[in-house]
Chains A and B, each alone.
Chain A
Amino acid sequence: MGKEKKLASEQDLISACIDNDSRAQKILFETYAPKMLGVCARYCSNMEDAKDALHEGFIKVFRLIGNFKGNSTLETWMTRLMINTSIDHFKKSIKYLHFEEHEKVHQYSDEESSYSLQIEEEEQIKTEDLYKIIEQLPEGYRLVFNLYVIEGYTHKEIAGELGISAGTSKSQLARARTMLKKLVKEQLNIG
């Protein structure tokens, strides 16, 4: 009747997933899906798109898990796949990404301090409010902001990822910051 199979370690889990073991796949999914949905939600403009991206991302995870070499943690590797999938996902959903190639980057380069907010020390900002705000960014702004600020990519890496120039990446980041600051002030009454 009941069949129990112990999966002792992450390596066992990966091996079982490579063997297309549905039980191991489920464990992997349950372990990482909530975190990966959090990643996808940052890149997508609504939760439905985020779930679609998560679905596609996990399909890739299970199909490519045999390629995982262990050079990074499994979570990092999966996060990278999710980001790529999210980018691909909304690349498909819009005809083209609009980036303002001729932006004058130097206008923003010396104004880092202007992106600071005055926040009360005890104030807790709800995560869901942050998601709501970031969802309102135009796709290009959101992509670059996420990749640069949260994932820690360089402008050169972002440029390679999105097929734009590093200068454009910088200008998109600056615009994203400006817009976010404005949205936070307006919607959260902060700063």
Chain B
Amino acid sequence: MAKKNKHIDDLFKEGLKGNELPLDGSEWGRLFDELHPPKKKRFVWWWFALPGVLLSAVLVFFLMPEKTKDVDGASTNQVVSTQTPNSIADNSDQTSKSASVEKIEEKNSVENEVQNIESEVEKSVESNSGGLSRQTSSAPGISENNKTRERKELEVSTSRTPYVVLSMSPITGVNLSLENPLSPMISLPFGLGYPAVSIDTNNPASEYIMKGRFISLGGGANRWSQQLESNDNKYLELRGKNENTAILPDFSIGYQHDFAKFRFNTGAAFTTKGQTNSRDFTFEIYDSLPYVDQNGQRTWLPYNYRDTTVSGLNSPRYQYVRLPIGLSYPVRLSDRAELDLGVNTSLQILTGGAGFILGNGLKPQNVQQLGGFNRLQVGLSGSVGFGYAVTRQTKLRISATYSGDLSDMNRSANNSQRFNGLGLNAAVQFNIKKK
């Protein structure tokens, strides 16, 4: 056979220049992921901040040490003193007795205290000498010096005392007091605030009913996330990219019953769960090139949705009636305010649904045509709530709740689905038993 001379340069130039090499299907997917990284689901601090800030603001507003209130509607200082009959007889300052009330918050409590002190003194004097009279500082015959000194002893301070208190707000910064905008509270995240409020849990004379039997009407919203599990990782990945968290409403009627130190809660809630479909969801990113094996055999991978963009799919929504049963521990903050921490379990009844998900083969599928739903589910939640008595028998309660499904909402051959969510609710509670 004839031979020819060929320069080594030409051999490689002709053989390699412009040559193409096959790619497997993963290259474009890898590149797409880097060019269009999925938006990171940022930790939503504001979601936690909102109830925290609300609670902090309400706490600051209502629980600041109050200025001395005017028992008679005029003076700002309360002075309560008693004198023994002996001191009256001797007309001497040394024998006078006084009793004080350290803190007077309400007119009724002051009056009660005065009556208690007077009756105690009366009993004491009667037991010692019998038939003695009593006199208050306002009675004639007491010297001005004596009155002044007693006033100093008994005066309820009107100055604002800086207290350190646990701050509910996760936001570092300054929270202005609604009562006194010039008195800011500087708070650290879930840390300490200064100055804040003093909490008086011992207030037996309150006219506001905080414990007992209440019925409530409430509403709010939950931010739902789905826990999707599947044996098919690609399906899981794609559905996870398409479906995002959703904030959906929640309405409830409730019943509260206090016993001993605990509080029993039950009722019914009408809850919508669901997810938010992406406005435009493109499948073209995956495996747009065939997989080529060593023998040059081309294989199209299962999720090869070339040039497919799904737009405008109605998001899936699931309606539930929930029957919660819970136990909480209330802490009295003042005569009008309380905080409670609780756990709830609830029976959840799936009553209906609408919208679309990406079903088998990632084809849009109406949830009403899906199988594998569990009509009955069990959920568990934890809550922190703040109650404030707006009238004698009516409370306003604001609560933050984190809840999750203990059992699957949907289970099919390849995947299962649950929801968990963080909620913020407000409810008006009416006392149903007269004090």
Contacts of B2 in A (CB 8 A): 120-121
Q: Which of A50-58, A90-98, A100-108, A160-168 contacts B (4 or more CB under 8 A)?
A: A50-58
A186 close to chain B: CB less than 8 A: no
Which residues from A are CB-within-8-Å of B364? 1
8 Å CB contacts to B: which residues of A106-127?
Answer: 112, 115-122, 125, 127
For residue B288, CB closer than 8 A to chain A, the reply is yes
Interface locus among A26-34, A66-74, A81-89: A26-34
Contact between chains at A22 and B36 (CB < 8 Å): yes
**A127 close to B13 (CB less than 8 A):** no
Number of interface residues of A (CB under 8 A): 46
Closest to A63 in B: B35
Q: Which residues of A contact B368 (CB under 8 A)?
A: none
A144 at the interface (CB under 8 A from B): no
* Residues A42 and B16 in contact, CB atoms below 8 Å apart: yes
Closest A-chain residue to B312, C-beta based? A1
Cα distance A54–B311 in the bound complex, in angstroms: 32
The interface stretch among B25-33, B149-157, B405-413 is B25-33
List which A10-40 residues lie within 8 A (CB) of chain B: 20, 22-23, 25-26, 29-30, 33-35, 37-38
Contact of A177 among B1, B9, B284 (CB under 8 A): B9
**Contact residues in A for B28 (Cβ distance below 8 Å):** 26, 29-30, 33
Contact B285 A22 (CB under 8 A): yes
- Tell yes or no: A99 within 8 A of B by CB: no
Cβ of A117 and Cβ of B11 under 8 Å apart?
Answer: yes
How near does chain A come to B108, taking the closest CB pair, in angstroms? 70
Q: Is the CB of A4 within 8 A of B307?
A: yes
Say yes or no: A149 contacts B13, CB within 8 Å: yes
* Residues from chain B with Cβ under 8 Å of A116 in the complex: 5-8
Tell me the interface secondary structure of chain A in the complex.
helix
Cβ–Cβ < 8 Å partners of A177 in chain B: 8-9
Instruction: Determine whether the beta carbon of A130 is less than 8 Å from that of B12.
Output: yes
User: Do A38 and B36 touch across chains, with their CB atoms under 8 A apart?
Assistant: no
CB contacts under 8 Å to A, within B357-377, are 364
Q: A1-B364, A26-B28, A37-B21 are in contact. Are A134 and B34 (CB under 8 A)?
A: no
Residue of chain A at shortest CB distance from B8: A115
Please state if B5 and A127 are interface contacts (CB–CB under 8 Å).
no
A58 touches B19 (CB 8 A): no
The listed residue with most B CB atoms (<10 A of its CB), out of A20, A117, A134, A184, is: A117
Q: Report the separation of the CA atoms of residues A96 and B81 in the bound assembly, to the nearest whole angstrom.
A: 95
User: Could you tell me the distance between the alpha carbons of A16 and B6 in the complex, rounded to whole angstroms?
Assistant: 45
Determine the chain B residues whose CB is within 8 A of the CB of A29 once the complex forms.
Answer: 27-28, 31
Query: Interface code A122-153, partner B: CB below 8 Å = 1, 0 otherwise?
Result: 10010100110010000000000100011000
| B15 touches which of A1, A50, A117, A125 (Cβ 8 Å) | A125
Contacts of B9 in A (CB 8 A): 115, 149, 177
CA distance A118 to B3 in the complex (A): 6
Residues of the A chain whose Cβ atoms lie less than 8 Å from the Cβ of B31: 25, 29, 55, 58-59
Q: Measured between C-beta atoms, what is the minimum distance from B23 to chain A in Å?
A: 6
B232 within 8 Å of A (CB atoms) = no
Residue B309 CB within 8 A of the other chain: yes
Least Cβ distance of B198 to chain A in Å?
Answer: 58
CA of A37 to CA of B36, assembled, Å: 22
CB of A37 within 8 A of CB of B20, answer yes
Measured between alpha carbons, how far is A149 from B27 in the docked complex, in Å?
A: 29
Asked, given contacts A26-B28, A180-B12, whether A33 binds B23 with beta carbons under 8 Å apart, the answer is yes
Q: Hey, which chain A residues are within 8 Å of B1, CB to CB?
A: 120-122
- Please determine whether B285 and A1 come into contact, CB atoms closer than 8 angstroms: no
Minimum CB–CB distance from A34 to chain B (whole Å) comes to 4
Any A CB within 8 A of the CB of B310: yes
Which of B8, B12, B35, B311 contacts A25, CB < 8 Å?
B35
Known: A118-B3, A120-B1. A1 touches B311 (CB 8 A): yes
State the 5 A-B residue pairs at the shortest beta-carbon distance, nearest first: A34-B20, A38-B19, A3-B309, A37-B21, A130-B15
Question: Could you list which residues of chain A lie within 8 angstroms of chain B, going by C-beta atoms?
Answer: 1-4, 20, 22-23, 25-26, 29-30, 33-35, 37-38, 41-42, 50-51, 54-55, 58-59, 62, 112, 115-122, 125, 127, 130-131, 134, 145, 149-150, 177, 180-181, 184
Given contacts A116-B6, A121-B4, 4 further A-B contacts (CB under 8 A): A29-B27, A34-B23, A127-B16, A181-B8
